[in-house]
Amino acid sequence: MTKTTIRPYGDTENDGKVQVAFSLPMPYGPLGVEAAKALAIKMGIKNASVVHGTSLGADFSHYIVYGTVSHDVDLAGLSVIEVEGDHMEMEEVEALIKEHFDRELVFIGASTGTDAHTVGIDAIMNMKGYHGHYGLERYQGIKAINLGGQVDNEALLEQAIKENADVILISQTVTQKDVHIENLTGFVELLEAEGQRDRFVVVIGGPRISHALAKELGYDAGFGPGKYANDVAAFAIRTLIERQKNQD
């Protein structure tokens, strides 16, 4: 019988062992260690033990705490919102484009707002790609335009219209104080204000991005860690094909 209720484990099944890491605004030392243990206990971690601690400067410190929790999770009560569609490799994506389109599809991407981190958008867009998965620049049938980092929402939309883009890709790496939510919300509002929302397939990605969050904010899809150019391209092209059918 398939289990529906699970607990964390470290050494043996259902032993409830967990490890958490956090920083405290105080110097590293015996008092900091005790503070970390006390905080872990308040979090519901029993037999909390600080297995590693280090100084982060004069007034800050970092701790790793190991212990046991009694909580479990009922899988039957969980729901997951995922991007639909079978996995496709680069060659399959290229074949899909060739079958349904008689022109290059234009993908334009950027890290927007104050976000200067381009590792995410580069992994998706640049020819080299990441982890053995080529980027969109290498795909036949795709014209990939990477605008880089710190691109204003207005500038991204202006370039997307100028290039007659089919797909807009937005990467957000900086997430402190949920700045990515504000920026992503602003782009959707800009699209709607300019009457351009239905013109593009708009996809977002980043370390704290999920498909559920993307849909909540008004985007077509969201991709988090472990996703590559072929995943993004497959979704975007399937969506373009579906929209094309609805227009016929």
Does residue 128 have an active-site annotation? yes
Q: 2 burial class (0-12, 13-18, 19+ CB within 10 angstroms)?
A: exposed
What ranges in 24-104 are assigned the alpha helix state H?
30-42, 90-100
DSSP 8-state code for residue 133: B
Q: What angle do CA 215, 130, 142 make, to 5 degrees?
A: 65
**Of residues 42, 128, 215, 227, which has the active-site annotation?**
128
Q: Report how far residue 123's alpha carbon sits from residue 218's, in angstroms, rounded to the nearest whole number.
A: 24
Q: What are phi and psi of 214, to 5 degrees?
A: -60, -45
DSSP letter for each residue of 213-239: HHHHHT-SEEE-TT--HHHHHHHHHHH
Phi-psi domain of 103 (left: phi exceeds 0; alpha: psi -120 through 50; beta: other): beta
Q: 236 burial class (0-12, 13-18, 19+ CB within 10 angstroms)?
A: buried
| Catalytically active residues, by annotation | 128
